[in-house]
Copies of this chain bind each other. A is one copy, B any other.
Amino acid sequence: MTISQKNARITIRTVAADAGVSVAAVSKVLRNAYGVSEDLRSRVEASIARLGYRPRAAARAMRGQADTIGVLLPDIRNPFFSDIMDGVHAALERTRYQSLVGISQSAWSIELALVDAMTDRPMDGLILVAPRMSAADVTVTALRTPTVLIGHHEPDATLFDTVNDDDELGARLVVGHLVAAGYTDIAFLSLAMEDPMNLVVTSRREIGYRAAMVEHGLSAHIDIVRASGSPRASQAAARRLLQGRQRPQAIFCWTDFIALEVLSVARELGLCVPRDLAVVGYDNTSYCDLLQNDLTSVDQSGQVLGLQAARLLIERIKGRTTAEHFLATPRLVARGSSRPRSPERETL
């Protein structure tokens, strides 16, 4: 950060005058364009340093380059999105791009307004994380600005890239793990989406859950409950599940964030985890490691997703027009919340 006076705004003109060259020359030095002599370059660089000149992104944006990529996050309460941002930051570190984040608070209307606002800023490209908007709106956005979606399965999309975890496999891993640990009555606390499009999107995990249950001969135990993902809704759904006549032995939760609420409700009801109830989350966020949670989860490496998304986006900005669809392989991380059942002890 360098000092500049408030009154006399320092522009490319000031620098040009100071260095005794043309405005165009300064611009070239700024952009490392060729066709500048060493002498001119060093003079200009000296002036820039002396004056503390900084190019205005807005003016550049008018000529096509905003040097900014926008990231749309549904909320920042869920720490999984921090992991994604870590990946984005890592990918952008040595580039000219800055990332600016818009937070939609999981509200469909805010999301639309935010995407429009970002498009209008403008941004060179957009990373939309788990968007709620319709396929049509995504299309409109992608037509205007290079776009990469995270957490939106649409492998046939041609207008934008997608970066996903193999959610079907993730759900299968969970069921397989729980079955191996001796649990058979496994419920799935899934996410209720506002938008019809996303029903298709999000059901990947439900598909995996169903398929795995069937394959393990547990189709009679299939039980999918959907809630909005807010703490209140998650708690209510957990209570319904746990106070019902047929309390499940295990609950597979849409996210860690929801699983933490389930753990809380279990404790409230006097249930001991995992003896009375096994709980599994999704995302393997840092909260899983805390021993008061000790939560088994599926690692879908938000960092890798964020990193890939940013890389793909830069490629798109640089001109790639064919779509890329990246699919990461999830990994189950077993912890105390799903320890194997010991039938002998159970009768004590």
Interface residues of A (CB under 8 A from B): 1-4, 6, 54-59, 61-62, 66, 68, 70, 75-77, 79, 81-82, 85-86, 89, 98-103, 105, 110, 112-122, 133, 137, 140-141, 143-144, 231, 260-261, 263-264, 267-268, 286-287, 289-293
Contact = CB atoms under 8 A, between A and B. Distances in A.
6 contacts: A56-B122, A68-B121, A98-B114, A98-B117, A100-B102, A260-B292
A105 B86 contact: yes
A294 to B, nearest CB: 9
Nearest to A269: B291
Contacts of A76: 76, 81-82, 85
A68 B267 CA distance: 45
Contacts of A110: 89
Nearest to A4: B144
A103 B89 contact: yes
Given A264-B289, A267-B291, A140 B57 contact: no
Contact of A290 (B3, B82, B264): B264
A3 B139 CA distance: 9
A327 to B, nearest CB: 26
A319 B263 CA distance: 50
Contacts of A79: 77
A103 B306 CA distance: 14
Given A112-B1, A289-B264, A101 B98 contact: no
B144 A6 contact: yes
A54 B120 CA distance: 7
B58 A122 contact: yes
Contacts of A3: 140
Given A6-B144, A68-B117, A76-B81, 4 more contacts: A1-B115, A57-B117, A76-B85, A98-B117
